[in-house]
A and B are shown apart, each in its own frame.
Chain A
Amino acid sequence: MLPAQKFSELLGELDRLDRLPHSNSALQNRGHNILGALLRHAGYSSGAIWLQGPVSRSLLLAARTPDFECPSELSRTLPLRILDRSGNGESEEWSRDYETMQPAPHTLVPLRRNETPLGLVALRRDQDEIDGGTLELLEAAASYLSMLLTAQRMADEAREGDFQLKYRLWELESLYDIGLSIASTLDQQELSDEILIRTISLLNARRAALYLRKGEQYEMFRSFGEVRGQFFGSEIDPDSFSGLLKNQSPIRLSEGADCLFPGCETLIAVPVATATEMVGVLAVADKELRDGGVGGFDEKDVRLLQQFATQAAMALENARLHKDALEKQAIERELELAATIQRDILPRTIPTFPGMEIEVLARPARQLGGDYYTFIEREEGMSLCVADVSGKSVPAAILVSALHAALQLLFDEGRELGEIATELNRHIHHWSSETKFITLILATIDRENGLIRYVNAGHNPGYLVPPGGSLEILHSHGLPIGLMSDSRYSVQTRPLPAGSLITFYSDGITEADDETGDEFGSERLEALLLREHAAPVKSIRSSIDAAVQEFVGGAPQRDDQTLVLVRV
């Protein structure tokens, strides 16, 4: 075959080579094609080829014939031009790399572009002699191949640049999409999976795990790939992770990484922290390389993982706030239900009794009040009770409910007031905690005999204003209900001339305070009763209410306010 024809066929074959390989298998495929073309067209019988690797850029063995022993990687020192043992080439010394080749090659063909090594072909022929045409053919082929490899390398670098630009866009879009997901769902598991998936994808990691704080430990919440344990920190070297757990600093490990992910070579772990506390740990392991191996994570990877951890923290915080809001709503619903029950306990309307005029002011300070009042029809007239239980809100409401039930039962049994108070004390003391007690004033209005019988158990004094205008104070004469188990209560009796005004109230009236902390006080109430006792009870109620409101001004109401006025 003519040299020109050989040359044309060889170049034609080389021209059909694939573009630069990204993987070792593709590198081998390419090496096999180049070596095969050179052996076929230049008259050699065996040999090997080394090409620049896809990642390390060192010269890696890409292909060899079965009978040719040689190193898997070469140093970057290449001969300046083709060397041939027949003496036609330069008489440079063959490096140690080349001496290890068995059988010894006849020709070494360097592939280089200026100072950049691209590859080397070692060839062995059956005879020692070589004709000049073959060396010229190899020189031309090497030159063409070098140019081809360089052009493809540049094209590949441009492609890689384009890929990296798109990768950055992918990174930004991923962070943006997670933000959207956080805004659209509160499912912690779903969000965590999305964060893990995107983290693994963008960091080229093989494994990842998200741990959430549970007491003093971090428990694995979601993971991808095999993870060593359920808890972060249970099997780790405390020194390796102290920076993360104590100072919330990211850590990057290339040794000791096996503690979280079995068989893992490299990992990074970053804190998942809200504005106030560290709530978790996000860790990824084994960064993949294009050649199939595993490499270390770099600072850029740490920064990206921290961004994902920040997103995770936001998602977790949102979910927690939502959970809190739901719980608050549930509590409010329960309070509203309890308030409804309590409203049903208190009289819905003011009852009417022959010869009596009644007015009530009831204003709880909260949704649930601790004040109680009731009216009960009796043979001799009417009984009433005004009470104030200790505490506020739900506990107070429960005690009010217990008081109501017990009081209704005891009145139904027809007992007299002293017995009712004594029994009530025993009952409340037995069934409620030691810190719970009730102050109350119980009274029965006996119009027929013109008397008022009452028991005042630690409550604010009641007032009795007969038509003449003097004010009689119905002082407490016993301990509050529920305070001592063996308290006994006696009934007090006072004359009750027709036209008298009876006033019972809770301390929310007399202890209503203004913005400076001064209380309305009993003196103001007594003065008002003396001044207006002859007026209609509705008018008296309005006057007391207005006086209290005017006194407190803009100060918030701190306690329940109850006022019961009865004209006989």
Chain B
Amino acid sequence: MMTEELKVTVVRREGGAILYTRGYINNVGGEEIANQAYELIDQGVTTLLLNLRETKIVNSIGISILIEIIEKMMEKEGRLGFCCLTPVIQKTFQIMGLAQYAPIFQDEEAAIREFEL
């Protein structure tokens, strides 16, 4: 049986923060990510990296919440990116337009280099 609950772990770094997700990015999971992201944004963090290494599923509600986070970050003139996506999720993000506004990196090292985290 695959798991469903989402856990988010935040690692603060000098240039921003990395959010590690584990589980299903649905309504509940998306809100959890949004809460953590907005808290960081309110604290002045302007660079966020979402590492989805341990997430296999995202639904359309989760995607719309991720879009809201991206928009919020764009309003603040900050940067948000994704890394370590499964091929299925990467393709989904491309189809749903997330990749237009948030870069997708194959691995965390490349993302950290690009975002100077």
Q: Which residues in A have some Cβ–Cβ distance to B below 8 Å?
A: 19, 22-23, 25-26, 162-163, 166-167, 169-170, 173, 177, 193-194, 196-198, 200-207, 222-227, 288-290, 292
Q: How many Å from the CB of A175 to the closest CB on chain B? A: 13
Instruction: Indicate if the CB atoms of A204 and B1 lie closer than 8 Å.
Output: no
* A200–B97 CA distance with the chains assembled, in angstroms: 20
Give me 20 other A-B pairs in contact (C-beta within 8 A), A204-B61, A225-B1 excluded. Answer: A166-B95, A170-B92, A197-B2, A198-B88, A201-B57, A201-B58, A202-B59, A203-B59, A204-B59, A204-B60, A222-B2, A223-B1, A225-B4, A226-B1, A226-B4, A288-B61, A290-B27, A290-B61, A290-B64, A292-B31
Instruction: Indicate if the CB atoms of A289 and B95 lie closer than 8 Å.
Output: no
Instruction: Indicate if the CB atoms of A288 and B26 lie closer than 8 Å.
Output: yes
B1 touches which one: A25, A202, A203, A227 (CB < 8 A)?
A: A227
Instruction: Indicate if the CB atoms of A22 and B31 lie closer than 8 Å.
Output: no
* A203–B60 CA distance with the chains assembled, in angstroms: 8
Instruction: Indicate if the CB atoms of B27 and A177 lie closer than 8 Å.
Output: no
> Which residues of chain A have C-beta atoms less than 8 A from B2's C-beta?
193, 196-197, 222-225
B60 touches which one: A25, A167, A225 (CB < 8 A)?
A: A167
> Which residues of chain A have C-beta atoms less than 8 A from B91's C-beta?
173, 177
Size of chain B's interface in residues, with CB distance under 8 A? Answer: 24
Please judge, given known A-B contacts A194-B88, A223-B1, A225-B4, whether A173 and B61 are in contact too, CB under 8 Å: no
**20 interchain pairs (CB within 8 A)?**
A22-B68, A26-B68, A162-B97, A163-B60, A163-B64, A163-B96, A166-B96, A170-B60, A170-B95, A173-B95, A201-B58, A203-B59, A206-B4, A223-B1, A223-B2, A225-B2, A225-B4, A288-B27, A290-B27, A292-B27
B110 interface residue per 8 A CB criterion: no
* A440–B110 CA distance with the chains assembled, in angstroms: 81
B56 interface residue per 8 A CB criterion: yes
Instruction: Indicate if the CB atoms of B64 and A22 lie closer than 8 Å.
Output: yes
| Main DSSP-derived SS at the B contact region | helix
Instruction: Indicate if the CB atoms of B96 and A170 lie closer than 8 Å.
Output: yes
Instruction: Indicate if the CB atoms of A202 and B60 lie closer than 8 Å.
Output: yes
> Which residues of chain B have C-beta atoms less than 8 A from A166's C-beta?
95-97
Q: Which residues in B have some Cβ–Cβ distance to A below 8 Å?
A: 1-2, 4, 24, 26-28, 31, 56-61, 64-65, 68, 71, 88, 91-92, 95-97
> Which residues of chain B have C-beta atoms less than 8 A from A225's C-beta?
1-2, 4
Q: How many Å from the CB of A177 to the closest CB on chain B? A: 7
* A204–B57 CA distance with the chains assembled, in angstroms: 10
Instruction: Indicate if the CB atoms of B31 and A25 lie closer than 8 Å.
Output: yes
Q: How many Å from the CB of B21 to the closest CB on chain A? A: 15
> Which residues of chain A have C-beta atoms less than 8 A from B61's C-beta?
204, 288-290
Please judge, given known A-B contacts A225-B1, A289-B27, A292-B28, whether A200 and B59 are in contact too, CB under 8 Å: yes
B88 touches which one: A197, A204, A205, A207 (CB < 8 A)?
A: A197
